[in-house]
Chain A
Amino acid sequence: MTPMIDVVFLLIIFFLVSSHLARQETQLELDLPEAISGESVEVTTTPRVVINVTEFGEFMLAGRQVSAAQLQQQLHNHIRKEGRELEVRIRSDRNIAFAKVRPIMLACAKVGIWNVTFAVYQTMEGS
């Protein structure tokens, strides 16, 4: 009996973990900015591109570092593949200068993506 419970639990755990990880796609530990009015992450079918901006100002796309020009090229490719309805999620460290994030927004604007979201941590009102 016990070995079966073992196996069952193992399987459950395995599937939970893998789906959790896939959902989060947290490849990078970053100090995200804090906001009060953040909306929770919904499970949607909109294709999404996540761009991480480290504290040194580097852009990480799918685990690889890219430059601004390459970023624009990549976004262009994504659009061609998946249509205009692309969501770009920017996860950036809260202490870097806005000037580092601006190229991403510029690239999105040039390529024609208007759905740009920022990833934030939640704080309560008053804190």
Chain B
Amino acid sequence: MRRPSVFHRNQGGLEIKMTPMIDVVFLLLVFFVWTASFHAVEYLLPSSLSQQLGNAAVIESQAPPPEAEFEDVVVRMLWQDDHVAWQVNGQDVLSLDEVKQRLQLVAGIKADAPVILHPDEGVPVGDVIDVYDISRIAGFDKIQFAIAQ
């Protein structure tokens, strides 16, 4: 006796209850919106500090190790009014690319040479990180920031 109701249901259209559906859709939306990060992903640059700065004219009583023959690579960043000027071991370098080339050259010869970054007071952190980044990419493992004691 219920058969006509089947027909009825088939022809009559779906009686879907919309409200819960909308709820679910909204919830899914919110779920995906939250998990998608609005913030850019942050990464880390590890660094280590160096306690020494500059050229200590001290002749030690112990014989200096062979590494003493390879002097530190000091990358100095000077702040000239409104832009940065780089110096590698006292020699002026004109652009960041050139700094990169030089560091890669040095790393090619000796990758465990100590690199010391010595920025001036006014140099922006962004530029300092740029040079630091370049040093890491070039392959140096001992990169240090120089801060005066």
Contact = CB atoms under 8 A, between A and B. Distances in A.
A26 B43 contact: no
A85 interface: no
A43 interface: no
B62 to A, nearest CB: 24
Contact of B132 (A6, A35, A89): A35
A36 interface: yes
B105 interface: no
Given A33-B129, A35-B130, A118-B129, A17 B34 contact: yes
Contact of A121 (B37, B42, B46): B42
A122 B39 CA distance: 12
Nearest to B21: A2
A37 to B, nearest CB: 4
B42 A41 contact: yes
A97 B45 contact: no
B137 interface: yes
Contacts, number: 145
Nearest to A96: B125
Contact of A120 (B35, B42, B120, B121): B42
Contacts of A34: 126, 129-130
Contacts of A122: 40-41, 43
Q: Which of A12, A24, A97, A109 has the most CB of B within 10 A?
A: A97
A94 B124 CA distance: 6
A75 B132 CA distance: 25
Interface of B: 17, 20-21, 23-24, 27-28, 30-31, 34-35, 37, 39-49, 51, 79, 119-126, 128-130, 132-133, 136-137, 145, 147
Q: Which 4 residue pairs of A and B lie closest in terms of their CB atoms, listed nearest first?
A: A38-B43, A2-B20, A94-B126, A35-B133
